[in-house]
Amino acid sequence: MIIIGRTALIVFAHQERTSFNFAMKEAAQAALEKKGWTVLVSDLYEMKFNAVMSRDDIRGEPKEPSDFKYVAETLVAWKEGRLAKDIEEEHKKVAKADLVIFQFPLQWFGLPAIMKGWVERVFSAGFAHGLQTKYSEGPFKHKKALLSFTTGGRKPMLSPRGISGDINVILWPMQNGMLNCCGFKVLAPQISYGVMHVTQEARVEMLKNWEKRLETIWDEKPIRFLPNQDFENTTGGLVLKTEVEEANSADKYGPTVGQNLGKPLPPDSQLKSQGSGL
């Protein structure tokens, strides 16, 4: 089935055109376009994207130059159309996108610095999150997103028994704290484990599996996160409601990696789709 009218944004972070990450980006673009998607690309190294937050992220005079607060000032600048031009250009891409794919090598258990800087500057206050618009009520709640990345370590190393630890724990800050916080429906990650250690045939198979998945990517159900209504305001901030905790009291596992209630983590809950579709 050809997808009509859908737009994808690929945010890509790798310096080399000979890398497997570049091959994954190219495969994604070709596979989506073949299915009728419009594909936008932010090639961060090619763009020489500025990854550093600063006062230069707003045009014009700050509201409080002697007491500059980045979030407050960029929120006002967003409302008034005074954000830096490079941020505004990326905002336009995100606004058009139904699906955002982040393609990168996992570095120090997280995003490469240039991609982290893209998130910090582009997912700005008001546009991507707010006091009343975050998590299940975030501005991007009608969009989907996924992480596609390579690892240096082999898969067993990123397991609950591996030296690097459970990949579900590593994924939680990125998938919950970054994507889910902005409202995205988060699809299961595409992980290419230990690409430097596998054969060329294995890498070709990884690319084929990625292309095959992308043929029906929009039909996938998202990973499950707890909705805002499961939390209540207390003097200490938003915390899980007592009745929700009690409803999970007999379960062997905690509801999520983050809200684990001191129980064992739900197995592979950050690796597979569990929720309902849009």
Q: What is the model's pLDDT at position 88?
A: 98
d(CA 270, CA 254): 13
Q: Which pTM was predicted?
A: 0.94
Q: Long-range CB contacts (< 8 A, 24+ apart) of 246-249?
A: none
20: Cα within 13 Å, side-chain hemisphere: 26
Digit-coded pLDDT (tens) for 50-106: 999 999 999 999 999 999 999 999 999 999 999 999 999 999 999 999 999 999 999
pLDDT above 50 (res 277): no
What is the torsion angle, in degrees rounded to the nearest 10, for the CA atoms of residue 85, residue 100, residue 218 and residue 200? 130
Digit-coded pLDDT (tens) for 110-120: 999 999 999 99
Would you say domain 7-226 falls under CATH 2.40.37.20?
no
Angle at 12 between CA 7 and CA 14, to 5 degrees: 165
* Residue 102 DSSP SS3: strand
Ranges of beta strands (E only) in 106-253 are 144-150, 185-186, 190-192, 231-234, 237-240
DSSP assignment letter at 142: T
